[in-house]
Chains A and B, each alone.
Chain A
Amino acid sequence: DIVMTQSPDSLTVSLGERATINCKSSHTILYNSNNRNYLAWYQLKAGQPPKLLIYWASIRQSGVPDRFSGSGSGTDFTLTISNLQAEDVAVYSCQQYHSIPYTFGPGTKLEIK
């Protein structure tokens, strides 16, 4: 199985500032045949189903504010939230869909300072 790890476990950021969350896969999730990284990011809030934010490592899902951005390739990825808003308080989790079983990172808890 591909193991996904995230750092930090939690972070506290001031409103309007930038939050950076890292995700690392135990094996590359880049397919050379199509040059795509099989990585997604989700936002998890209590009492709600997960919300897809980013897929293919850097493509924003429709309706997701452009302050959310994804980057990285191979085994190392980053979710950046710029101009942090109060509604961004949540847990953020990455997922690889390169190989079955699809696996998720343990999550990073984002709080407001």
Chain B
Amino acid sequence: EVQLVQSGAELKKPGESLKISCKGSGYKFNNFWIGWVRQLPGRGLEWLGYIFPADSDTIYSPSFEGQITISADKLTTTAYLQWSSLRASDSAMYYCARPWSTSAGQTYGYIDSWGQGTLVTVSS
């Protein structure tokens, strides 16, 4: 069974850095894309990007490229989302997300596995 377990809620101040995590288990972590989706309070979902752990190939949404960094550690089967300088507008629920892949390794962008979510609050 695929499991994505995220790190706990964070309360940070504007300008601070942050790195949240998502540990994958129950599947071959290196061979599946994994990434992040956020939900702003009372708003819809936003796709941030995906990473392929085997070679660290990363795809970002243009709206977030340069503002976030997605990374993955193959040894610990953990994906990360980090900010170097948080803003209040980064306050949201962040979900780890694994898009569906065929047995042949073809990946499509719909998400069948989700982490439980990490609430990030940025406030002075």
Chain A interface: which of B8-16, B58-66, B69-77? B58-66
Q: How many residues of B contact A (CB 8 A)?
A: 23
**A38 and B100 alpha carbons, distance in the complex (Å):** 13
The one of A44, A49, A97, A100 in contact with B59, judged by C-beta atoms closer than 8 angstroms, is: A100
Contact A103–B47 (Cβ < 8 Å): yes
A77 part of interface (Cβ distance < 8 Å):
no
B45 part of interface (Cβ distance < 8 Å):
yes
The one of B37, B100, B115 in contact with A55, judged by C-beta atoms closer than 8 angstroms, is: B100
Instruction: Tell me how many residue pairs across A and B have CB atoms closer than 8 Å.
Output: 59
Chief secondary structure at chain A's binding surface: loop
Contact B43–A106 (Cβ < 8 Å): yes
Contact A101–B47 (Cβ < 8 Å): yes
**A42 and B109 alpha carbons, distance in the complex (Å):** 13
**A61 and B110 alpha carbons, distance in the complex (Å):** 11
The one of B46, B62, B115 in contact with A49, judged by C-beta atoms closer than 8 angstroms, is: B115
Contact A49–B117 (Cβ < 8 Å): yes
Give 1 or 0 for each of B37-61: 1 = CB within 8 Å of chain A CB: 1010001111100000000000101
| Contact size range, A | 20 to 34
Contact B116–A49 (Cβ < 8 Å): yes
B112 part of interface (Cβ distance < 8 Å):
yes
B114 part of interface (Cβ distance < 8 Å):
yes
Q: Which residues of A contact B114 (CB under 8 A)?
A: 49-51
A81 part of interface (Cβ distance < 8 Å):
no
Q: List B residues at the A interface (Cβ < 8 Å).
A: 37, 39, 43-47, 59, 61-63, 95, 99-100, 108-112, 114-117
